Structure 1
Amino acid sequence: MKIRQIFLGVGLSFALVLSSCESVIDIEPEYAKEGAEIFNNLDEYEYALTGAYAQFRQIGYFGSGGQTTGTWSTLPDVMSDNLVQTGEDLGNWASQANWNYTSDESDIAIAWIAAYQVITQANLVLDGIDRFADENPERVNRIKGQALAIRAVAHFDLLRYWGEAFDRNSALLGVPYKTTVDKDDMPARLTVKETYDNILKDLNDAEALLGDVDSEPNTESSRSFIDLTTTRAILARVNLYAEEYAEAARYATLVIDEIPLASRAEFPAIWEDESVAEVIWAVSFNAGEGTPSGGVHNAPSNRNRFRPSLPLMETYAEQADVRYDSYFGTRSRADVERPIVAKFVGRGTATDNLVNWKVFRTGEMYLIRAEARAMLGDIVGALADLNALRAARIAGYVPVVIATQQALLDAIALERRKELFSEGHRWFDLKRTTRMIEREDCGTNAINCTLEPDAREWAWPIPQGELDANSNIRGQQNPGYSS
């Protein structure tokens, strides 16, 4: 792939003119308008923003095909100790599952391109919109704020796979930060610190803008857009990775105050899209738009490519924990019962993997605040958050007392693994806390079962096509990979 395709691979996506932006976000754009054409009014910017959200559904980002899993949806669990490759898998993403990828691998390039397509679309929305600020400042704020947050979250996701480190002030290499629609702008990799600087600037600007809008992007029944609360959830996650714990806790608290945890009665309905309880932001998927999870348990074909880890399943209180039946199930094939990931099977009684992808939930915010508080030495506050989350999930739960910081951090890490199972967190949690992967349940198809904390594979290789096409990034390959 050439750099122009990587950075400029998507035109301005438009949707049919409907009654409101809320009614078009779930519809695949009907046609595309080239970025070189000029937007003449805010309606066109509105529809271009819809196109930016649509890009999250592509294969290579949250979407998966019949044989592939979403790069930022279920793949991080495939690459960890949460999911186990089975003999039913067709071999897609096998190199990721076994950590033997190379810089010329197409799946790595597809993921890189997918993120920059989202970024390109966000930049197109941002290009020239300020000229309408006097005409309708609150509407401009709403459109621009969402585009800035989209650009930030896509760059952060790139940093999670390709960054050499997560420390806030690290001089190691992060990712190129693309802020223009100029086809000749081929940025080099920034340091991790510089990457964070750009991400946080975009998010802080988005937070300010989305606090003064003409209308709220979301409704009580839909969380398809990034609003002020979503932006703060993104900031909570980013600050946790950056080890800015006071800010992580502050932003998590702001989100928790707005969107409470789901009750045990509500929780199962989240996974069938019958409820948006505790959903902060979900990428919408509808018929014909792919699915976010078909590469794990492909429900229509009953192909169980990756099953849940048995030792992980044993950590749940099967009868008392509402997550157990929400997350796991069994399904037979050739008269053999197999454990499956059931949380993405479909809506209602459907078995088509067609569900919205929950990018942020309040459960994560409790865990972010718990970890941040523990790292700040607030053992009482951290333990209160851990117990509150468990009480919301486990019937008859009796709060525990944990006296030491390390024991509490270990308990929080386990709870993150349980709460956020197969939601795209486990690989990154292990990476950011420099833990070893030791697959107790490695199955019979895996090649590698252990990954040391200092292994090169924690950072993906920059795609060879990018290195070939962009002279500014040559010599910036991640350590251990050929360029």
Structure 2
Amino acid sequence: MKFNKYLLGLGLSCSLVLTACEDVIDLEPEFQLEITDSFTTLDEHEYSLTGTYARLRATAYFGTGAQTTGTWASLPDMMGEDLVRTSEDLSNWATQVNWNYTTDENDLEEAWLAAYAVVLQANLTLQNIDRFEAAEPGRVNRIKGQALALRAMAHFDLLRFWGESYDRNSEAKGVPYKTSVDKFDLPARLTVRQTYDNIFADLEDAEELLGNVDRALNSSTNRAYLDQTAVKALLARVNLYAKQYEAAETYATQVIEAIPLATRDNFSSVWLDNYPANREVIWKVTYSAGEGSPATGVHISSTNRNRFRPSVAVMGLYDQANDVRYTSYFNTRSLGDNTRRIVNKFVGRGTSITALSQAAGRNMDNLVDWKIFRTGEMYLIRAEARAMQGGAKLLAGLSDLNELRAARIANYVPALNLTQQGLLDAIATERRKELFAEGHRWFDIKRTTRSVTRTESDATTTMSLAPGAREWAWPVPQGEVDANANLEQTTGYN
């Protein structure tokens, strides 16, 4: 497979124990290491772990570039109905947005390789690390736990796009699960069930290891590392997809107890990266100057280029006068005689969410951290998990929904009585509102087997995709299939 050809850059700009990297993970590749080489010190394993985190900033993972968008950042909303492509986009990503992808689509190959680059670097970090366990058990646990969690997350993200089903025990096609750095290894495509088996094994090991470490991974003002709480957040998300609702509820509860929701007064500061107490951010990928951005695929702040605009439909879901998310997520910006709707979340850091200039209190450079997990999502996971269990859990699920809404909407009047289906529909709408442009919409539609429809008011032409269509699962890049006789193509693309 092509990802076997990667050379892994190791960041050596940090101090030997990475204490200088605790505030912002900063990778500067100063040399290349062949993947067949073996580390001789635990410091080298730690450097490799830093490199694994840095690979999440790749332009085909969370990062964006001139011709690529964050595959697991805003692309899932572009592929749904909540972000609408404009003429300023110049037809970038039209293949994904219009669901016309084929086996030779370059952007899909870049996404595949970006995720497996994270996997490969995590595997390099893990290779032979146990030989240091007797001397430094807490440190080994800290490094190993993060690497296992990162490996599991990358495979889960691959499953979200390439998996033919999300059901826990499905025998449909999942993805190859790579656990070694052997360049001659040609792994077969596992079933969805087998893929989940590996994901859960890695995450459960990571959860245990990260409960017994030599030092804390994060502080109250910075959550740039996958600590035990972040692993529990990932477990809550994976269990929701797998329809293991009791486990999803349990893990979401543990995270909620650890990291509370932001208040309505300080919610907007989350999107300015101005949160002295890390208000509800569980884990983020950090970006510094010169490391790109996770957001230029939507709106390029510095040049006022509006590639994708929020749809009329999604903006209409909010209480515009009272919901703090409306002013945090949306804004208008003029270009000549035209006033355009823009996504306000990722404009840049600063002190004012409504500002659109540095002079007014906000940088216009799209330089923001990408928030992978927030407590708001945990409330929605728990609400849905409880609603799906039904019975006595319905009232608790409704309480979760009301609590989240009350934290976002001034003068909110709680809903008092919903049927199970009514509650599930309300939670689905709230996920669309709360998690707008954060990389969830396409996957939410897919996992709940709904259809996606774009109306003429929000697209050049009306478009729809029904549940069960082959386009819900991406084709494996043809080059990967050609290079690996064990790798099966996604159903419908042969």
1:157 equivalent in structure 2: 157
Greater mean deviation of Cα atoms: 200-209 or 299-308: 299-308
CA distance change for structure 1 residues 441 and 220 in 2, over 3 Å: closer, same or farther?
A: farther
Q: How does 1:296-307 map to 2 (within 5 A)?
A: 296-307=298-309
What does residue 478 of structure 1 align with? 490
CA RMSD of aligned residues (A): 1.2
What is the letter of the counterpart of residue 427 of structure 2?
I
> 1:390-418: per-residue Cα shift (whole Å, max 9, x none)?
00000111111233100000000000000
Alignment partners' CA distance in 2, 1:19 and 1:268: 37
Map 1:269-284 → 2, pairs under 5 A: 269-275=269-275, 276-284=278-286
Structure 2 spans left out of the alignment, 5+ residues: 351-361
Verify the 8 A CA contact 1:63 1:292 in the aligned structure 2.
Answer: yes
Secondary structure class of the residue paired with 2:87: coil
The letter of the residue matching 1:449 is M
Q: Which amino acid aligns with 1:381?
A: A
In 1, the alpha carbon distance for the partners of 2:148 and 2:9 equals 16
What secondary structure sits across from 1:427 in the alignment?
A: helix
What is the CA-CA distance between 1:334 and the residue it aligns to? 1.7
Partner of residue 405 from structure 1, selected from 407, 420, 439: 420
**1:354 counterpart letter in structure 2:** L
CA distance in 2, matches of 1:196, 1:180: 18
Question: Which residue in the other structure is 1:363 paired with?
Answer: 376
Note the 1:139-218 alignment, pairs <5 A. 139-218=139-218
Measured in 2, the distance between the counterparts of 1:28 and 1:17 equals: 8
The C-alpha deviation readout for 1:269-310, integer Å capped at 9, x for no partner, is 111111121001100111111111101111111111110011
Q: Which amino acid in the other structure matches residue 9 of structure 1?
A: Y
Distance 1:61-1:145 versus aligned 2 partners, 3 A rule: same
1:379-458 correspondence to structure 2 within 5 Å = 379-440=394-455, 443-445=458-460, 449-458=463-472
Does residue 73 of the first structure (1) align with residue 73 of the second (2)?
yes
Task: Provide the rounded CA distance (Å) in 1 between the counterparts of 2:477 and 2:279.
Answer: 39
Give the distance between the partners of 2:457 and 2:72, measured in 1 at CA: 22
Corresponding residue of 1:29:
28
Residues 17 and 43, structure 2, Cα contact 8 Å, conserved in 1: no
Q: CA deviation at 1:18?
A: 2.1
Opposite residue 108 of structure 1, the aligned amino acid is L
Question: What is the alpha-carbon distance in structure 2 between the residues aligned to residue 334 and residue 22 of structure 1?
Answer: 48
Q: How has the CA–CA distance of structure 1 residues 390 and 128 changed in structure 2, closer, same or farther, with 3 Å as cutoff?
A: same
Name the aligned partner's letter for residue 469 of structure 2. Answer: A
Q: Once superposed, which parts of structure 1, at least 4 consecutive aligned residues long, lie more than 6 Å away?
A: none
User: Contact 1:12–1:35 (CA<8 Å) still a contact in 2?
Assistant: no
Quote the residue 2:354 is aligned against: none
- Contact conserved, 2:7 with 2:33, CA < 8 A, in 1? no
Residue 320 of structure 2 aligns with which residue? 318
Aligned 8 A contact 2:9 2:29 in 1 = no
Contact 1:346–1:354 under 8 Å retained in 2: yes
Aligned to 2:357: none
- Alignment partners' CA distance in 2, 1:342 and 1:174: 35
Per-residue CA distance 1:332-355 (angstroms, 9 max, x = gap): 112211000010000111111110
CA distance in 2 between counterparts of 1:314 and 1:443 reads: 12
Deviation sequence 1:162-190 (CA, Å, 0-9, x none): 00000000000100000000001110100
- So what's the TM-score if we normalise by structure 1? 0.97
The alpha-carbon distance between structure 1 residues 10 and 279, as it changes in their structure 2 partners (threshold 3 A), is farther
For 1:23-172, what aligned pairs fall within 5 Å after superposition?
23-24=20-21, 25-31=24-30, 32-172=32-172
Structure 1 CA distance for aligned equivalents of residues 457 and 93 of structure 2: 16
Using CA pairs under 8 Å that are at least 6 residues apart, name the structure with larger relative contact order, 1 or 2: 1
SS of the equivalent of 1:254 reads helix
Instruction: Percent identity, please.
Output: 58
Q: Which amino acid aligns with 1:481?
A: Y
User: How big is the shift at 1:8?
Assistant: 4.3
1:150-172 CA distances to partner (integer Å, 9 max, x unpaired)? 00000000000000000000000
Taking the TM superposition and a 5 Å limit, the aligned residue runs for 1:320-335 are 320-335=322-337
Contact in 1 for aligned 2:264/2:408 (Cα 8 Å)? yes
SS of alignment partner, residue 381 of structure 2: helix
- Give distance in 2, aligned partners of 1:7 and 1:421: 35
Distance in 2 separating the partners of 1:10 and 1:432: 35
Counterpart amino acid of residue 130 in structure 2: D
Q: Secondary structure at the match of 1:282?
A: strand
CA distance in 2, matches of 1:319, 1:22: 45
Q: Who is 1:231 aligned against?
A: 231
Do the aligned partners of 1:7 and 1:113 also contact (CA within 8 Å) in 2? no
Q: After alignment, is 16-25 or 227-236 more displaced?
A: 16-25
Counterparts of 1:231 and 1:413, CA distance in 2: 24
Paired residue secondary structure (1:271): helix
| Distance in 1 between residues matched to 2:262 and 2:370, nearest whole Å | 17
Q: Say whether 1:260 aligns with 2:260.
A: yes
| 2-structure distance, mates of 1:68, 1:322 | 31
Q: CA deviation at 1:20?
A: 4.5
Q: Distance in 2 between matches of 1:423 and 1:242?
A: 20
Are residues 312 and 191 of structure 1, via their aligned partners in 2, closer, same or farther at CA, if it must alter by over 3 Å? same
Q: Is contact 2:73-2:294 (8 Å) kept?
A: yes
Which residue does the alignment assign to 2:389? 376
Offset of residue 26 of structure 1 = 2.2
Tell me the amino acid that sits aligned with residue 197 of structure 2. Answer: D
Distance in 2, Cα, partners of 1:444 & 1:241: 29
Q: TM-score, normalised by structure 2?
A: 0.94
Aligned residue for 2:272, secondary structure, equals coil
- Of 370-379 and 398-407, the range deviating more from structure 2: 398-407
Give the aligned partner of residue 482 of structure 2.
Answer: 468
Question: Relative to structure 2, which stretch is displaced further, 263-272 or 204-213?
Answer: 263-272
Number of corresponding residues: 476
Report if the CA contact (8 A) 1:8-1:181 is conserved: no
Q: Distance in 1 between matches of 2:5 and 2:217?
A: 27
Between the aligned partners of 2:88 and 2:417, the Cα distance in structure 1 is 42
